[in-house]
Structures are given as C-alpha cells and as structure tokens.
Amino acid sequence: MALLAEPRTALLDPMEPVPFRVRGIRDELEDTFTLELEPPNGRFEFAPGQYTMLYSFGIGEVPISVSGDASRPSRLVQTIRGVGAVTRALRNVRPGDVVGVRGPFGTPWPVDGATGRDIVFVAGGIGLAPLRPAIYRVLERRDHYGQVVVLYGARSPRELLFAEELQDWGGRFDVTVLVTVDNADRAWYGSVGVVTKLVPRAPYEPQNASAFVCGPEIMMRFAGQELESRGVAPEQIFVSMERNMKCGVGFCGHCQFATKLVCRDGPVFPFSEVARLLTVREV
C-alpha cells in the first residue's frame, strides 16, 4: 500500500440544513404559529413524535416537533412558539421565503404498536402540537383501536391550541375530548382545573390503555403518576422529554438526561424508563 495520504470519501452531512420553501403561515395563539413548508423533493417522510431542526439563515437553529399529518408528506407542518431570537425570526418569514430543515430526528410515539388498545392522549399547553400527528394517525385507523380519548389542559381558554380541531374531534361519536383550563371567567363553560383531574374522568379501561403524554416536564410527571395510579402500566405510558437539543444526532451532548441522549434515544420514552429520573433534581 502506498504511503501517500488517501483521498476521502464523500459523506452525507447530517448537519447540513436543507432549504424548504414557506407556503403558509398561520397564527394559532398570541405567541404561537404554524409554518407550512414545501420540501425541495416534494416529500417529507416522518413518524408522529419526531422533530426537525429548523434553521433561520444566519440567525440559528431550534428543535421543533412536526405537528402535521404524516399521511400528507407533500407539506412539512410545524407549530412554533415565538420565545427566542430564532423562533421570532421564523415568525417573520413570508410565503416564498426559505427556511432550513434538518431531520426528521428522534423516536416516534408508538401508536402503531398500540393497536387493539384504548388510547389516551394527554396534552398540556403547546404540547398538543407534537401529539397531533399521533392523533391524526390513530383517527386515520380508528377501527384499529378501542376507546380514543384526548385530554387537554391549558392556562386559559385563550391559550387553547387547535381549538377548532378539538371541537371537531369532540363532535365525533368515536372520540372523547375533555378540555380544562387553569383560569377562566364566566364566558368559559368548560372545566377548570389541572389536566391531571381529567385522567379519572375519561372513559377508558386503564389495564388495556396506552397513554401518550406531552407537555412541560412537570405536567408529564404528574400526568404519568395519575395515569399509573389509575392502573395504566408505566410501560404503556409514553412521554416526550425536552432537553437542550442542538444537533439532533448525538454529536453535541447538550441533551444529556442521565443515561440518555434525548435527541437520539428520545424524545419519546416509556414513563417506566424516566419516572424515577424525573424526581431527581437537575439531572
């Protein structure tokens, strides 16, 4: 073999943002909006629960869960809360502009593995967005499941995400939708109280149920405990963890969560794997 340095092989770059064209922007809540993006090759395949890294040119990148319908791959739909420099820059795009996309990354909600079971979705705040693709998937194959329940909690009626869709789902005879808020005035005729209070009220058989929980960590922790105390097996409760995901592929180390790298091993984990860690401070 020659001593000369050898030529390198070209590699697919997981760190390279791919330009997607903005086709639609929709304001959902005061600080939350949905982007509809057109993939350059016309298709974006993902599994419910996965996320992408969205890149605003020269500004930065953020991890955002896909909130659209996996059976409609011609558009990538992402619902974003404008809380930082990148997300606010993303809010200011116009149709025709280009944003960068890497992904999809991460583990999916295992709804396809829960056929034959009762399905309980528990969402808090903007946590409904990462669950929506799983809800679409279950409703698309409604006859594969037993009871289907969507439990949703938000701060106030003004902060209910996808309110029209919640009403549509609630109007179906084969889906139970229960919504609750922390704060309301007289104009609200629904429930007031935390989302965990909905867990005992919904119609499902705990021993035969799979639950998919998404929201802030504290909300998932208590919802998981409530589901478990009702008799849902912790292996059948799934939560979507949030850590500082910067690369999506396990290179940067920011999303360390004890033995896990959330970006690569998650974000979706069985509650049985994380419940103990959720009670250890600052892991």
Partner 1 sequence: MTASGVIDRAGLDELIAALRNGGYTTIGPTIREGAIVYNEISGTSDLPVGWTDQQAPGGYRLEHLGDGRMFGYVVGPQSWKRFLYPQRNVIWSGVVTADGWETVTPPEPPTYAFIGVRGCELAAIAVQDRVFLAAGDRAADPSYAARREGAFIVAVNCADPGANCFCTSMGTGPVAGPGHDLVLTETVTDDGVVLLAESGSARGDALLASLAAMRPAEIADRERAAETMAAAQATVPHSMDTTDIHDLLLGNLEHPHWEAVAARCLGCANCTMVCPTCFCGTVTDELELDGGGARRVRSWDSCFTLEFSYIHGGSIRQAGSARYRQWLTHKLASWFDQFGTSGCVGCGRCITWCPVGIDLTAEVAAIRASDLRPAVPVAADGTEVNL
Partner 2 sequence: MRTVPIADLLTAHPFFGGMSTPAIQVLASCASEVEFAAGSRIFKEGDPADACFLLTAGNVALEIVVPGRGPHVVETLHSGEILGWSWLFPPYRWTFDAQALTATSAIRFDAEALRAAKAADKELGYELMTRFAQVLVDRLQATRLQLLDIYGTAR
Q: Tell which one of 2, 42, 116, 164 touches partner 1 (CB under 8 A).
A: 2
Mask 33-72, x = binds partner 2 (CB under 8 A)? -------------------------------xx-------
Question: How many Å apart are CA 24 and CA 41, to the nearest integer?
Answer: 18
Site membership for partner 2, residue 162 (CB under 8 A):
no
Site membership for partner 2, residue 82 (CB under 8 A):
no
Residue (103 or 124) nearer to partner 2, CB: 124
Question: How many Å apart are CA 223 and CA 226, to the nearest integer?
Answer: 5
- Give the pairing type, strands 51-56 and 98-105: antiparallel
Question: How many Å apart are CA 242 and CA 48, to the nearest integer?
Answer: 16
| CB 203, CB 230: distance < 8 Å | no
Residue (59 or 184) nearer to partner 2, CB: 184
Residues 6 or more apart in contact with residue 188 via CB below 8 angstroms: 157, 181
Site membership for partner 1, residue 42 (CB under 8 A):
no
Question: How many Å apart are CA 152 and CA 161, to the nearest integer?
Answer: 9
Rg (CA), the chain: 20
Q: Kindly state the helix (H) or strand (E) to which residue 139 belongs, with its residue range.
A: helix 128-140
Q: Tell which one of 219, 227, 237, 268 touches partner 2 (CB under 8 A).
A: 219
Site membership for partner 2, residue 28 (CB under 8 A):
no
Q: Tell which one of 39, 91, 264, 270 touches partner 1 (CB under 8 A).
A: 264
Question: How many Å apart are CA 214 and CA 235, to the nearest integer?
Answer: 16
Residue (145 or 238) nearer to partner 2, CB: 238
Residue (196 or 210) nearer to partner 2, CB: 196
Residue (87 or 236) nearer to partner 2, CB: 87
Question: How many Å apart are CA 166 and CA 40, to the nearest integer?
Answer: 31
Site membership for partner 2, residue 125 (CB under 8 A):
yes
Residue (30 or 57) nearer to partner 1, CB: 57
Tokens read off for 126: 């903007």
In the complex, the residues that contact partner 1 under the rule CB under 8 A are 1-6, 8-9, 11-17, 19, 21, 57-61, 81, 83-84, 97-98, 242-244, 246-247, 249-254, 256, 258-261, 264-265, 280-283
